[in-house]
């Protein structure tokens, strides 16, 4: 057993699955019927406690991580789970799907991520919707809630934590050169450019930019407070605040 404790004192009790670990973070929700492997590996959910509102989660299991087009994972949005914890109404213990390689419970255990089932996710979602995003902590039974501090992810540079450390080129034979600044980029964003014939150079969040290196600049979305991305902003300004700048396309981080 375990509990989700919100910063206003509201407590939701449930059954622990995945890793046996107490964690804290920002509590958010997602309403999709499917897509939990993609959501959990989305860097935008870094250090967040992700609530899935669909009543039954895990019924199609988790696929094996394997490369597809352009050397990108077929099924996931990054190389690991970024969410701090997962909250669901009911966990399917008998997944069935042709691509399933393991259960959601097993995957979370392997990745060291705790989950909580049996929670009234509609009530939790309503509270978040009405009061705004709240901090919370998942506390394993036997652990004092006072021993687990509320962790506010916005006090850390999460973009730096999830961004790649060195540039990497995808589809090197592409005819149009796109530089993508990795502020928490998803594999599918890279894939979409490559499928349209672009050569994509994914660069770290603070990588110096030279407009001679690209035909277009893409700035990905990502987690946390963009105020920590001063280097990103300064580097972008150097290539856009000029005469005849190259095209720029950005997502979120506002």
131-183 confidence digits (pLDDT tens): 988 999 999 999 999 999 999 999 999 999 999 999 999 999 999 999 999 99
Looking at residue 133, its pLDDT comes to: 85
Are residues 100 and 180 both part of a single domain? no
Mean pLDDT of 206-230: 96
* C-alpha distance from residue 173 to each of 133, 193, 196, 212 (Å): 43, 13, 12, 18
Shared domain for 68 and 84, answered yes or no, is yes
Same domain, yes or no: 79 and 205: no
* In a shared domain, residues 105 and 223: no
Task: Based on the fold, state whether residues 144 and 175 are members of the same structural domain.
Answer: no
Query: Could you tell me if 23 and 138 lie in one domain?
Result: yes
DSSP β-bridge partners for residue 136: 6, 25
Question: Are 31 and 54 in contact, with CB atoms under 8 Å apart?
Answer: yes
**Domain final residue pick, 155, 180, 212:** 155
- 151 and 191 part of one domain: no
The pLDDT of residue 254 is above 90: no
Same-domain status, 46 and 128 = yes
| Residue 5 contacts residue 139 (beta carbons within 8 Å) | yes
Instruction: Among 105, 133, 155, identify where a domain stops.
Output: 155
Query: Do 102 and 145 share a domain, yes or no?
Result: yes
| The model's pTM | 0.95
CATH number of domain containing 57: 3.50.30.20
Inform me whether the pLDDT recorded for 231 exceeds 70: yes
Q: How many domains does the chain have?
A: 2
203 plus 126 within the same structural domain:
no
Residues 117 and 135 in one domain: yes
> Which CATH number belongs to the domain containing residue 178 in this structure?
3.40.50.880
CA nearest neighbour of 102 among 72, 65, 68: 65
pLDDT score for 148: 97
Which residues constitute the domain of residue 17?
A: 2-155
- Where does a domain end: 125, 155, 185? 155
């Amino acid at each position: 057993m375990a509990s989700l404790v919100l910063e206003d004192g509201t407590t939701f009790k449930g059954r622990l699955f995945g890793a046996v670990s107490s964690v804290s973070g920002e509590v958010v929700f997602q309403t999709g019927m499917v897509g939990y492997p993609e959501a959990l590996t989305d860097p935008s959910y870094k250090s967040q406690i992700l609530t899935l509102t669909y009543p039954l989660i895990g019924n199609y299991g988790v696929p094996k991580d394997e490369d597809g087009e352009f050397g990108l994972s077929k099924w996931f949005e990054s190389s690991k789970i970024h969410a701090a914890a997962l909250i669901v109404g009911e966990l399917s213990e008998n997944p069935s799907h042709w691509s399933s390689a393991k259960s959601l419970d097993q995957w979370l255990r392997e990745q060291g991520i705790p989950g909580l089932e049996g929670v009234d996710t509609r009530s939790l979602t309503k509270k978040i919707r009405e009061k705004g995003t709240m901090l919370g902590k998942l506390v394993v039974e036997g652990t004092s809630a006072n021993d687990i501090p509320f962790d506010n992810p916005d006090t850390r540079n999460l973009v730096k934590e999830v961004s790649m450390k060195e540039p990497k080129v995808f589809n090197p034979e592409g005819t149009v050169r796109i530089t993508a600044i990795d502020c928490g980029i998803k594999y599918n964003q890279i894939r979409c450019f490559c499928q349209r014939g672009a050569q994509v150079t994914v660069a770290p969040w603070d990588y110096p930019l030279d407009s001679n290196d690209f035909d277009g600049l893409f700035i990905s979305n990502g987690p946390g407070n963009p105020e920590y991305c001063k280097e990103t902003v300064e580097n972008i300004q150097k290539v856009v605040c000029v005469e005849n700048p190259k095209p720029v396309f950005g997502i979120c981080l506002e």
